[in-house]
Structure 1
Amino acid sequence: MNIPCSVYIVTLNCGKWLEDTLNSVADFEEVIILDSGSTDNTYAIAQQFPNTRISHQDWQGYAQQKSLALAVCQQAWVLNLDGDEVLSAELRQEIVDTIQADQIDALITPINDVFLGVPNSKHTKKHAKVRFFRRDKGHYDPENKVHENVIVDGDSARAHGDIYHYGESSIFVKVEKNNQYSELKAAEKFQKGKHPGILKLALVMPLTFLKSYFIRRSFLNGWRGFVNSMINAFYAFLKEAKLFEQYQQARKQKRDDS
């Protein structure tokens, strides 16, 4: 018997990981994939799984793309995965138990970033997001350009099992993603009227490193934890620096128009 839950995934050239992703949810009632133009074997892999439907949608932004995929789901419960993520057996069982108990509306799930091919230490503090929820209780904020979160109108509980994220397969890939994400995040902050500050620009990098390496205990991941924390710190710096850049460009445009 299939698990009465819809899984929705947005993809773009996720063929490297997608088979493992879909195998981890092969016994869910349905899997909805919204692809934005893959040129690899994403479609061929998706079509091998009888519970999976894949269709094309031009890229609308992270929150909007996931909202469109969510709208197609038919089940009362839904699970969101990315095309480079795998559901752990422990979290799968928690999902089954949550559906059967029918007492809460969402699970806040830990994301275990498999950086350079190795998962985090079990003692590292992981980031966590709502990924499993009642379909009629959750939605996305379309103003979030990146790091979109599900907003749940109801009760949530913390899950113990992980979602394994395999996308950070190299330093190059992680840095490239951070460059793209920081561009979007700075634009989002600018549109919301947030102002840059020289003190934050000076302090955000060392403070983020300390938080990542010591408070979140990335030091337990050896040299990979150090490298990851340094990249995280530079990502925080880039977001603030690019916000300054946005304001400089706006001032220049205003002078040119006057």
Structure 2
Amino acid sequence: MIKASVYIICKNEEKHIRRVLESVKDFDQVVIVDSGSTDDTLNIAKSYTDKIYHRDFTDYADQKEYAKNLCKNEWVLNLDADEELSSGLKNEIEQTIVNNDADGIEVLISSMYLGSFNKYGRFIKRIRFFKKDMGSYPKKLVHESINFNGRVKKSKNFIYDYGSNEISTHINKINSYSGLRAVEKFEKNKKSSFLKLAFLLPIAFFKSYFIRRNFLNGKKGLIVSINLAFYAFLKEAKLYEFEILKK
């Protein structure tokens, strides 16, 4: 067994959770924090671990901090229920534990979209494997990330993300996440900008399609870049909506 704990937060992930649990079945501990699944998620999870906890959802950062603190091992790995740990990254994790040549790994994340994983452009990078006592989640409603104090090395291998394969799923996430980001900005007394409303969408598209080289991914790269640009616009538009309707 790999001497590390895995923690996963989830709700209604019967479509994906078996895949991620299968990919980490040789880890010493797997902790699942569920926020009220009504499908077959928990029944599937029970065949892999008995460390299953219920906690009403607060926000992503708070939920993950709670799950992380339930882990018993020095080393922890965070995965989402719709992800999968690659065998190559698993080997990197094992070597890091043995060699103790870093306190955390900044991991490459490749997303499946319209049936295949992106091959070009810039990949998302997150610290996902680390010594538990060296990392924590600061308060954040969405796009949570670890505040980390330690030696970090970069992975050569991937976590695979299956959660946004379909356009409708991607759009639903964009709608949800843009609202949460607008709430964060509004609560910090940030104001919407006419210039951002006017120019953020084309600038965000240019950045995604050209600077991050999504044009190399063909039609899918074009669709992704347009969606991401709309996400950038929605965050600003919803902030303006809060200013008008929530005062």
TM-score by length of 2: 0.97
In structure 2, C-alpha distance between the alignment counterparts of 1:78 and 1:193, rounded to whole Å: 36
Worse overlay, 131-140 or 203-212: 203-212
The question of whether the paired residues in 2 share the 8 Å contact of 1:120 and 1:221 is answered with: yes
Q: How far apart in 2 are the matches of 1:85 and 1:58? A: 22
Report matched runs for 1:14-163 at 5 Å: 14-49=13-48, 51=49, 53-121=51-119, 123-142=120-139, 144-163=140-159
Deviations 1:198-232 (A, max 9, x none): 11121111111111111212122221111111111
Q: Which residue of 2 aligns with 1:226?
A: 222
Aligned partner of 1:193 in structure 2 is: 189
What's the CA shift string for 1:88-131, capped at 9, x where partnerless?
1111111111111113211111111111221001x321111111
RMSD: 1.1
Could you tell me how far apart the structure 2 residues matched to 1:95 and 1:234 are? Answer: 36
- Kept after mapping to 2: 8 A contact 1:87/1:163: yes
Structure 1 outlier segments of 4+, above 6 Å: none
Q: Partners in 2 of 1:157 and 1:209 — Cα distance? A: 30
> Which of 239, 242, 246 pairs up with 1:246?
242
Q: Which moved more, 1:194-203 or 1:232-241?
A: 194-203
Residue 10 (1) aligns with residue 13 (2): no
Counterpart check, 1:236 vs 2:235: no
Q: Secondary structure at the residue paired with 1:162?
A: strand
Judge conservation of contact 1:63–1:146 (CA < 8 Å) in 2: yes
Distance 1:116 1:7 in 2: 28
How much does 1:52 deviate? 5.0
Q: Relative to 1, partners in 2 of residues 1:210 and 1:52: Cα closer, same or farther, differing over 3 Å? A: farther
Deviation string 1:115-166 (CA, Å, 9 cap, x unpaired) is 1221001x32111111111000000012x10000011011211111111100
User: C-alpha distance in 2, partners of 1:207/1:215?
Assistant: 11
Aligned residues: percent identity?
Answer: 44
Flag structure 1 segments of 5+ consecutive residues without an equivalent.
Answer: 254-258
Contact (CA 8 Å) 1:117, 1:166: kept in 2 or not? no
* SS of alignment partner, residue 129 of structure 2: strand
**Unaligned regions of 5+ residues in structure 2, if any?**
none
Total equivalences in the alignment: 247
SS of alignment partner, residue 15 of structure 2: helix
